[in-house]
């Protein structure tokens, strides 16, 4: 029965990863959707496959939506035929393990990574959700071993753990009780905070300079990979009236600024020619994208893209267009490469001190447009000159030939 066992495993993982668990329990009661224990007594295997793939076809066949009173309609899950078959067979074969308790428990330990000790007396909040709606909050305090536990939890909810340590918020992400499980165990790491940026480095910076086809503006995108290599949370430096963490220069003329940190608008401040993040920076990596457009007014114009950190690997990509743009600083040789059928100049440097990338809008388009304007006139003169010379020379030659005869 090896094959059936493997089908069971992958059916279960589809049930979990295919997001069915967000809305269904098996044998634990109603959730967003009906309990699916014994669902094979209500539907044929084929109809269950249709539920898993595309409930709309059942709705239109039965001319009823929703089919079960008191529930919303089920959204299409777009599973492949074979995944839908596997998850259906999993539902048909499922039997609840013996000895499962009536309610669930979420427990774990709060560990302070900086002090390498369990965090005692830490307030831990458990938020329960019904679908996307927040339902209830449960509170606990960690014991001398950092341990916390929430019991008597309903199956038909999803849960999230949240805590504040030294003013920094930690959130677990949503959890549900998986089929056949009545416990969730998780460890919550917390860190001490620091205002010093000594462990912060910019590992790589990729800058894409992309002039539009009209040559009216360039779009600049900077992709930063930062690392906090310490075991503390960088919570920032005090500037005038604010506490800020990472800083990003933006040119004065920049318009249409987009910043990946501004998902939460309160997390970002713009002051003069700089953007500041207020978000705490936990140990590990952090990727930040910054984009803006610079209007261009003239040929020969210079613009600079600043960076306030030393950069491990710097790469600048400039799209090749009529409006030739060249990077002047920091000095590196350009290599021509193709990305998605577009030509780019690529400049690569390593261990670059804080500074800026200075680019110059060069004259190629100007040369080309002036050439096209003056070329006919120039050609006319060239032809005229050749014609006159030919006429004079030819006349001489013929006359001398005449004289030879």
List contacts with ligand HEC (CB under 6 A): 18-20, 22-24, 32-34, 36, 39, 42, 48, 51-52, 66-68, 71-75, 77, 79, 87
**What letter would DSSP give residue 373?**
H
Nearer to ligand HEC, 94 or 303 (CB): 94
Could you tell me which of 172, 185, 193, 191 has the C-alpha nearest to residue 119? Answer: 191
Give the shortest CB-69-to-ligand HEC separation in angstroms: 8
Give the shortest CB-20-to-ligand HEC separation in angstroms: 3
Give the shortest CB-19-to-ligand HEC separation in angstroms: 5
- Helix spans in 188-257 (H): none
Q: Do 87 and 20 contact (CB within 8 A), yes or no? A: yes
Tokens of 186: 């998780």
Structural element, H or E, at residue 249: strand 247-249
Nearer to ligand HEC, 51 or 150 (CB): 51
Nearer to ligand HEC, 39 or 296 (CB): 39
Bridge partners, 202 (sequence order): 226, 311
Tokens of 324: 């030739």
Nearer to ligand HEC, 43 or 366 (CB): 43
What DSSP string runs through 96-116? Answer: PPTT--SSEEEEEEEEETTTT
Give the shortest CB-10-to-ligand HEC separation in angstroms: 13
Nearer to ligand HEC, 176 or 294 (CB): 176
Tokens of 206: 């990729």
Give the shortest CB-129-to-ligand HEC separation in angstroms: 12
The Cα 317–Cα 334 span in angstroms is 9
Tokens of 77: 């899950």
The Cα 211–Cα 362 span in angstroms is 12
The Cα 365–Cα 13 span in angstroms is 58
Give the shortest CB-83-to-ligand HEC separation in angstroms: 8
Give the shortest CB-173-to-ligand HEC separation in angstroms: 17
Find the length of the chain: 405
Contacts of 134 (CB under 8 A, 6+ apart): 127, 128
Nearer to ligand HEC, 176 or 233 (CB): 176
Nearer to ligand HEC, 20 or 140 (CB): 20
């Amino acid at each position: 029965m090896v094959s059936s066992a493997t089908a069971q495993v992958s059916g279960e993982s589809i049930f979990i990863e295919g997001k069915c668990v967000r809305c269904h329990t098996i044998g634990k009661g109603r959730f967003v959707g009906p309990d699916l224990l014994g669902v094979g007594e209500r539907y044929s295997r084929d109809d269950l496959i249709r539920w898993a793939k595309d409930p709309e076809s059942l709705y239109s066949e039965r001319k009823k939506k929703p089919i079960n009173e008191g529930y919303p309609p089920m959204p299409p899950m777009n599973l492949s035929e074979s995944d839908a078959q596997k998850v259906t067979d999993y539902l048909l074969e499922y039997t609840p393990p013996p000895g499962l308790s009536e309610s669930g428990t979420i427990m774990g330990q709060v560990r302070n990574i900086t002090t390498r000790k369990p965090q005692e007396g830490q307030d831990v909040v458990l938020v329960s959700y019904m679908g996307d709606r927040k339902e209830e909050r449960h509170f606990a305090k960690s014991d001398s071993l950092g341990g916390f536990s929430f019991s008597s939890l309903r199956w038909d909810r999803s849960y999230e753990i949240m805590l504040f340590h030294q003013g920094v918020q930690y959130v677990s992400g949503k959890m549900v009780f998986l089929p056949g499980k009545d416990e969730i165990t998780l460890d919550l790491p917390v860190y001490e905070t620091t205002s010093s940026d000594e462990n912060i480095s910019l590992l790589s910076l990729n800058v894409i300079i992309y002039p539009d086809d009209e040559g009216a503006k360039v779009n600049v995108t900077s992709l930063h990979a930062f690392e906090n290599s310490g075991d503390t949370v960088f919570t920032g430096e005090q500037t005038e009236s604010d506490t800020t963490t990472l800083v990003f220069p933006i040119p004065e003329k920049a318009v249409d600024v987009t910043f990946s940190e501004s998902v939460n608008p309160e997390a970002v401040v713009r002051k003069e020619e700089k953007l500041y993040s207020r978000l705490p920076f936990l140990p590990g990596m952090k990727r930040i994208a910054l984009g803006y457009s610079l209007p261009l007014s003239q040929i020969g114009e210079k613009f600079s893209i600043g960076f306030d950190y030393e950069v491990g690997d710097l790469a600048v990509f400039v799209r090749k267009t009529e409006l030739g743009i060249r990077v002047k600083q920091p000095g590196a040789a350009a290599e021509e490469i193709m990305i998605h059928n577009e030509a780019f100049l690529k400049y690569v440097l390593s261990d670059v001190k804080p500074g800026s990338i200075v680019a110059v809008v060069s004259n190629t388009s100007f040369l080309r447009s002036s050439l096209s304007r003056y070329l006919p006139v120039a050609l006319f003169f060239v032809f005229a000159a050749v014609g006159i010379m030919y006429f004079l020379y030819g006349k001489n030659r013929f006359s001398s030939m005449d004289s030879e005869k």
